[in-house]
């Protein structure tokens, strides 16, 4: 079974996210996914790609989500931190950015989405 590449975009005028798969987008613009694969112009939206992971409430995690997490090596201490999900193109991996530090997202557990980059950051504290 082929995994679908999922995306979302923020619509500022409506203050809401729209969600789609790459195949949905290509069908809407009259393209066949086999013609382009993943090489679709990204200028249409400020794309946020799904990480393929879900949080503790079974909600899909995307780029630019703010999440509360615990490092898998310190799970017994249960010390959560808050970070932003990013995609690091240099290592081709989803990362968690905590301050100036970037770490591989899969090194963390107990993900809990607390907002996204377009939320009022004061409300996330």
Give the Cα separation of 123 and 100 in Å (integer).
Answer: 22
pTM for this entry? 0.73
Label residue 94 by pLDDT band (50, 70, 90).
very high
Give the Cα separation of 110 and 82 in Å (integer).
Answer: 12
Residue predicted with more confidence, 38 or 67? 67
Q: Are 114 and 125 in contact (CB under 8 A)?
A: no
Is it the case that residue 31 has pLDDT exceeding 70? no
41 closest CA partner among 61, 22, 65, 21: 22
């Amino acid at each position: 079974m082929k995994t679908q590449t999922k995306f979302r975009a923020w619509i500022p005028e409506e203050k809401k996210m729209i969600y789609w798969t790459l195949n949905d987008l290509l069908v809407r613009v009259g393209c066949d996914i086999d013609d382009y694969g993943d090489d679709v112009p990204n200028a249409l939206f400020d794309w946020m790609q799904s990480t393929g992971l879900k949080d503790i409430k079974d909600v899909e995690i995307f780029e630019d989500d703010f999440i509360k997490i615990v490092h898998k090596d310190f799970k017994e201490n249960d010390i959560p931190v808050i970070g932003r999900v990013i995609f690091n193109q240099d290592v081709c991996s989803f990362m968690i950015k905590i301050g100036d530090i970037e770490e591989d997202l899969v090194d963390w557990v107990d993900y809990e989405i607390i907002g996204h980059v377009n939320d009022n950051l004061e409300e996330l504290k």
